[in-house]
Amino acid sequence: MPFGSKAPAPPPPMAEAILERFTAFVTENVKFSQEDFAILGLNCVGCVLFYYFMRLLRVPDHSWYLTLYSSGVTSFFGLYMLYHVCLDGFTAVLVREDDITRYLAIFFTAYCIMDLALGTLHYGTFITFDDGWTHHFLYIVILAYLLHNNMTPLFAIALVEELPIIVLSIFEVQNKQRPSLLFGVLYFLTRVIFHTMLIYKAAKQSTFVFVAGLGLLLWHVDVFQGWVRGYLMRSHGRARMSFRSKLRVFTAMLTTQIATHAFVTYDMCANVLGDFTSPAAILYALVFVYFLYRMGVVVHDVYTQNFIMTSIGRKKIIYNISWEDPAIDHTVMHMTPEDTVLTISSAGCNVLDYLCEGPKKIIAVDMNWAQLHVLELKLAGIRALTWDQFFAIWGRSDFEVFKKVYAKKLRPLLEPETAEFWDQNHNLFRDNFMYAGTSGLMAKILCMPLIWSGVREKVKNREEFTGGGGFFFQLTLKICSITSLWSIFAPLGGVPLEQLNLLSRNPQVFVDRLVEVLTTRIWKPNNYFYYGYIVGEFAPDCCPRYLEKKNFAIMKQRVDRVKVYHGTWAEAAVEEGPGSITIASLLDSMDWMPPSMIAENIGKVVANMDKKNGRIFWRSFADRVHSPVLAHLKGELVPTYDRVGWYLTQFIQSVPNFEPYDPTMLECKGTGNTPRNSFYDDVAVMAAMAKQGLSSKKDVKAFYKSQGTRYDGFREALLPGRDLLMQHAVPWVKRPKTWISVGCGTARDLEFVVDHVIAAKTKVYLCDLSDALLDMARARVIELGLASRVVLVEGDFMSPAVRKKLPKQADLVTCSYCLTMVPEWEKALATMKDLVKPGGNLALIDFITRDGVDQRWDQRLYKWWFAMDGVYFNRAHADWLRSREDMEEVWYSEEESRVPYTPYYPTHYLYVGEKKA
């Protein structure tokens, strides 16, 4: 021992004992050899070599290189192992671990590691949290467990599940359209059916593997659901399968999965447990029931998402009668012989009702050819039939009369496509046209309890509603009050899921309305909407106006005033030309449209309406204006008690009242750029946020500066709704000349509206406290070519020094997710309001506690969690904005959105107000 050195002190007895136990545990239990680690390293090197070799070949999509490599190797061995399963049986193969099975587990572990490593370097934005990091780490853990317990044959057998991935990756690396049917069938057979069988076989060896396998099966079912929605129910290519064939494939898949899962569950309980009443058997049964429910979700999803569009594509009738009460339309439209009316055909009832009023022209528009065929047959009937014949067909669905007049009188007047349709659909009258189409089917189902309870006879005899209506009537009330059933019946009635979601804002209002309809409205005199469905036919004194005898002669004179148009009402307006439309009756068509589609359609319609006499009328399932695009029309709520009762609101507005209103400014697409982060980038941002949250001193400038270019990518999902605020809630139709953006950050808001800023020649003032964020904003402004239009102002906009750098007042003042970070928020809001010109607009979006439940536990959790980063939820913000007497509220809404990487769904509000002159 060298001079002056000291011998190391011996470890304390307790530490020494712990060290010995840990060493013994590792020696006895960890079963990874040096050879295993050597193979892992070699496979990692192999992944690197393959990746860069493919890059040298310049094969297009490098994010799929390693997937192609991995799935190619594993698919080959997966088929090899499947051969042995078929030859020797599951049990024999599962217990036979050898070098090949261990190699395959190590190989796939290396792939997962290198895909994350190379992905972080070269294609980070494609390595998502769910399909990348979570998926790969889950497999690494499972494979480590299998290697440790010498159970790698389980994984080797499962490699046949890579077959659909090799098919997918071959096409993806070449940027070619994937073979959807082949992929879907292979995915279902391997990752749903085979995987189900395998995990139940594996359950005999390891509960951990079974539970992990169930987690993977749930993920596989989700992917399968996406494929079903995307392929089976939509058209793909020229040589696509027929709808019936797709439906048969879908049904066969569902039946096979249910039967397979039922069999393996029964086999587990009968042959392994030997007891159907044990707790374990009950758990297996519950697992089966849950996955049965998941398959039901697949069916429901396909039905609600695709039913209506599929019906349109297949030229199937949805509406057999129109469900908008035209009597209300006439109280506010005031049609004259000089009017040109643009409306939606539906079943033609409202079109022909308008014809009774005598406008100069009616343009009946529909995207569904079948609905136009119904209207064309009615128009032919008006031209060629007597009233008795016409009423017999459309009022009573008299099949004998239809057969007698169709070939000789009606068919010669029809367009070829319409004639072909009715040649094939005589059965609609044979089976009673009152119950034709999907809405007729829905009515038939819902009316059954009413018919059984005797309500049908009472309605037919025009009796008043008395008592409770009987058991079946009360049953119908109960069914209509179950909101969870609405999504089942709604698509039948032609109500898209998007429209149904409007009811979720206040479902009790609609429940009360439905009950009121059944107990009051259906009993009102001449309520032909419900009379026809309940009785099964119309009566001469209880029918739509176009079926009344007194109107038939005048309709014969005017029948040529109706023009049938296949397409959207916007396309029809454009074809008619500027100034041509005086009335646009849009029914409830905008309920299901996203804001961008409403903007496109309203813009084209308004641009082609009469500027002096034009008026727009629309209905909605919502209890208020449901879109910010429509809010700028400032429609007048029509107070009404219509016969239908389904529509909670109806609005009308005259075109002259729009001014100032430039419809060309409604469509707003922005740059289309979407900042994206890799998972590593997001982790870096979250680390900075955590550091800021735990720090006693909040250094805002340093906080933002540390995030650099990652700032926008992370906050794109964290701060939702900014595109909606900037593109559709802000009234660009007024062409604002000055805009102050408070707390502008990196000027991301500019990207949403760059074309509008240029078109309106808007001078923009970007104000923020952070020099780091303003540096990024400056770079963005230059990149967008707006340097001459933008002034950057650093500092607190409430300070006198900064106020001098801003205009005294502006046409538009906005603030995106900034107010919750300002301690003196009342002063900030008052300052922003003062910066708005009379007639100008103030627009904000920010986090808030949910209205009505702000003291609920989850709202308190969100407040605490966000407050750690200096973001303070405060319900008083919205209360202050909405209570200003000098501000007219144009739009206010609240929505929930998920915080990335968390189960949190905090609320954000969107407010737009106009300063009164």
Q: What is the 3-state secondary structure (H, E, C) of 843-903?
A: EEEEEECCCCCCCCHHHHHHHHHHHCCCCCCCHHHHHHHHCCCCEEEEEEEEEECCCCCCC
Residue 221: CB partners within 8 Å, gap ≥ 6?
192, 291, 294, 295, 298
pLDDT, mean of residues 639-653: 89
At position 313, the amino acid (one-letter code) is G
What count of Cα atoms within 13 Å lies in the side-chain half-sphere of residue 756? Answer: 28
Per-chain mean pLDDT for the chain: 86
Q: Are 147 and 31 in contact (CB under 8 A)?
A: yes
HSE-CB at 166 with a 13 A cutoff on CA atoms is 17
Indicate if the pLDDT at residue 521 is higher than 70: yes
Res 844: pLDDT:
97
Q: How does residue 7 score in pLDDT terms, banded at 50, 70 and 90?
A: very low
Per-residue tokens: 680: 């590593």
- The answer to whether the peptide bond before residue 595 is cis (omega within 30 degrees of 0) is no
- Residues above pLDDT 90, as percent of the chain: 52
The pLDDT assigned to 436 comes to: 85
Q: Which residues pair with 847 in a beta bridge?
A: 908
Tell me which DSSP letter residue 761 carries.
Answer: T
Encoded amino acid at 587, one letter: L
Name which residue leads in pLDDT, 658 or 16. 658
pLDDT surpasses 80 at 235: no
Angstrom distance (rounded) from CA 729 to CA 723: 9
Give the C-alpha separation, 818 to 796, whole Å. Answer: 12
Q: How many CB atoms within 10 Å of residue 4?
A: 5
Average pLDDT, stretch 229-248?
A: 62
Closest CA to 744 of 816, 801, 670, 813: 816
Give pLDDT tens digits for 406-426: 999 999 999 999 999 999 999
**Is residue 712's pLDDT more than 50?**
yes
pLDDT at position 914, please? 95
Looking at residue 488, its pLDDT comes to: 64
* Angle, alpha carbons 48-54-56 (nearest 5°): 105
**Over 90: is that where the pLDDT of 308 sits?**
no
Work out whether the CA dihedral 431, 433, 435, 441 comes out positive or negative.
Answer: positive
What is the enclosing helix (H) or strand (E) of 887? strand 887-896
Convert the pLDDT of each residue in 93-115 to its tens digit. 888 888 999 999 999 999 999 99
Dihedral sign (CA 634, 638, 644, 645): positive
Q: Which two tokens stand for residue 146?
A: 């299998």
- 248 pLDDT band, cuts 50/70/90, is confident
CB count within 10 Å of CB 125 equals 15
β-pairing, 907-915 with 887-896?
Answer: antiparallel
CA torsion sign, 412 to 415 to 416 to 422?
A: negative
pLDDT-derived band at 487, boundaries 50, 70, 90: low
* In the predicted structure, residue 12 carries a pLDDT above the cut 60: no
**Digit-coded pLDDT (tens) for 878-887:** 999 999 999 9
CA 730 to chain centre: 23
Poorest-confidence range of 333-337, 482-486, 653-657, 688-692? 482-486
Confidence band of 705 (pLDDT split at 50, 70, 90): low
Residues 544-580: pLDDT tens digits? 999 999 999 999 999 999 999 999 999 999 999 999 9
- Do the Cβ atoms of 632 and 890 come closer than 8 Å? yes
Q: How far apart are CA 448 and CA 450, in angstroms?
A: 5
For residue 740, the surrounding DSSP H or E stretch is strand 738-742
What pLDDT does residue 11 have?
43
365 Rama sector, left if φ>0, alpha if ψ -120 to 50, beta otherwise: beta
Strand partners, 581: 609
Name the band, by pLDDT with cuts 50, 70 and 90, for residue 27.
very low
Query: What does the pLDDT look like over 153-190, one tens digit per residue?
Result: 989 999 999 999 888 888 877 777 666 788 889 999 99
Angle between helix axes 243-267 and 195-202 (nearest 10 degrees) is 10
CB neighbour class for 749 (10 Å; exposed up to 12, middle 13-18, buried from 19): buried
C-alpha atoms less than 13 angstroms from C-alpha of 468 in its C-beta half-sphere: 8
CA nearest to 764, candidates 743, 737, 745: 737
Q: Which pairing describes strands 763-768 and 810-816: parallel, antiparallel, or unpaired?
A: unpaired
Most confident option among 1-5, 325-329, 851-855: 325-329
Q: Position of tokens 């030309």?
A: 577
Provide the residue ranges of all domains of the chain, joining segments of one domain with +.
30-178, 315-667, 700-915
CA atoms within 13 A on the CB side of 652: 17
- Establish how many alpha carbons lie within 13 A of residue 723's alpha carbon, considering only the half-sphere containing its beta carbon: 17
Stretch 140-144: mean pLDDT: 89
In this predicted structure, the answer to whether residue 751 has a pLDDT above a threshold of 90 is: yes
Q: How many helices (H) and strands (E) does the chain have?
A: 41, 14
If you average pLDDT over residues 276-288, what whole number do you get? 90
CATH homologous superfamily of 700-915: Vaccinia Virus protein VP39 (3.40.50.150)
pLDDT of residue 306: 62
Per-residue confidence (pLDDT) for residue 9, from 0 to 100: 43
- pLDDT band, very low/low/confident/very high, at 15 (cuts 50, 70, 90): very low
Tokens for 472, please give them.
């079946």
Q: How confident is the model at residue 484 (pLDDT cuts 50, 70, 90)?
A: low
Q: What is the mean pLDDT of residues 675-691?
A: 78
What is the distance between the alpha carbons of residues 875 and 880, in angstroms, rounded to a whole number?
Answer: 9
From the number of C-beta atoms within 10 Å of its C-beta (0-12, 13-18, 19+), residue 669 rates as middle
Give the bridge partners for 195, in sequence order. none
Main-chain dihedrals φ then ψ at residue 566, nearest 5 degrees: -95, 120
Please say whether the beta carbons of 328 and 642 come within 8 A: yes
User: Which residue did the predictor score with more confidence, 236 or 816?
Assistant: 816
Percent share of the chain, pLDDT over 70:
88
List own/partner pairs for 56-60 with CB under 8 A and 24 or more apart. 59/173, 59/174, 60/173, 60/174, 60/175
**What is the helix (H) or strand (E) element at residue 532, kind and residue range?**
helix 528-535
Tell whether pTM > 0.75.
yes
Per-residue confidence (pLDDT) for residue 633, from 0 to 100: 92
Is pLDDT at 237 greater than 50 in this prediction?
A: no
* Residues 841/917, Cβ–Cβ less than 8 Å: no
Residue found under tokens 């735990």: 694
Q: What is the pLDDT of residue 467?
A: 65
Dihedral class, residue 150 (left if φ above 0, else alpha if ψ from -120 to 50, else beta): left
> Which carries the bigger pLDDT value, residue 197 or residue 58?
197
pLDDT band, residue 335 (cuts 50/70/90):
very high
Spatial distance between the Cα atoms of 379 and 701, rounded to a whole number of angstroms: 71
